[in-house]
Amino acid sequence: MGSVQQVGVVGCGLMGAGIAEVAARSGGNVVVVESSDDAAKAGLARLETSLGRAEAKGKIESASVVLDRIEVVTDLEALADREVVVEAIVEDEDAKTALFRRLDEIVTDPGAILATNTSSIPVMKLGVVTSRPQQVMGIHFFNPVPVLKLVELVPSLLTADETTERARGWVEGQLGKQAIDCQDRAGFVVNALLIPFVLSAIRMMESGFATAEDIDRGLVLGAAHPQGPLALADLIGLDTVQAVAESLYEEFKEPLYAAPPLLARMVDAGLLGRKAGRGFYTY
C-alpha cells in the first residue's frame, strides 16, 4: 500500500476528533462515525474549534479546507472503503470487541488495517474476534493528538509484520508523528510507567501526607515536569485513569496498579477532571 488516502475513525470524542484532525491535515479523506446525531454534532463542533485555533496560530493555512476532508456520520457502513480504520471509543473491552466484529464485516478493502487506540486493553483480544487478526493492531495516540508527537505501535502475536510497517509508514511518513514499538501488554510503554506514578500521587494525597497543590508543585518545580501528576490525572480523565489501572491490575496483579479508593469514589461521584469541571481541581 502506498500513501493512505481513505481513513476511518470510530468515535469523535477528544481522541477520535484529534486523530481525524491530524489525518485530514495530512491530506487524507476522513470519515468519522459517532453513535448518535447529537454526538456527531458535538464531534464536528470539537473539530471546528480545534482547527479554528490551529488556523489562528498559523499551524494550518485554512480550517475550512481541512474540514472539507472530514465527514462525521452515524452509520458504520460508511467505513466500507477505508484503508485504515482507527477505533477510539470508550475504554470498555465488550464495546470494543463488538465493534471489531462489525468492522470485520463492513470494511471491504482486503488489506485494510483495523487499529485500536486503546490505552490498556490487549490488542489480541480485539484481533481474535475478526477473521483477519493479522491486520489488527494498536495505534495508540496521545492527547492532545494534534500537539503530541508520540504514537505507540502495538502488534499482537498474530499481527503481520507488513501491517506494522504499513502503519509506521502512515504514522511517521504522512501524519508526521514519531512511533515507538511496544509489546501487546496492558499499558504498553507509557501508561505502564505513567499510571502507577499517578496512582502513587493519589495515594499520597488520600493519606493526608500532602495536598494536591503541594504534590503537583513538587513535581513541577523539583523534577521539571510540565504539570503535576494530579493535574495530569484531571486532564486524562479520572475514569480513564481508573480504567487503565484496572486493566493493568487485571494483567499483572501488582499492588502498584490497584486503583486507590479515593479514585473510585471520585469516579462514582462524576468528578472526572477537566471534562466534568471538577476533579482534584475545579475548572
Catalytic residue ranges: 119, 140, 152, 191
Beta strands at 136-141 and 150-155: parallel, antiparallel or unpaired: antiparallel
Burial class (CB in 10 A: 0-12, 13-18, 19+), 37: exposed
- 3-class secondary-structure state, position 81: coil
How many CB atoms within 10 Å of residue 111? 11
Polymer length in residues for the chain = 283
CA–CA separation, 257 and 246 (whole Å): 7
Task: State the amino acid at position 235 in one-letter form.
Answer: L
How many CB atoms within 10 Å of residue 282? 8
Helix (H) or strand (E) holding 34: none
Q: Pick from 63, 66, 95, 91: which is nearest to 7 by CA?
A: 66
- The strands making up 136-141's β-sheet, listed across from edge to edge, are 70-73, 29-33, 6-10, 84-87, 113-116, 136-141, 150-155, 178-181
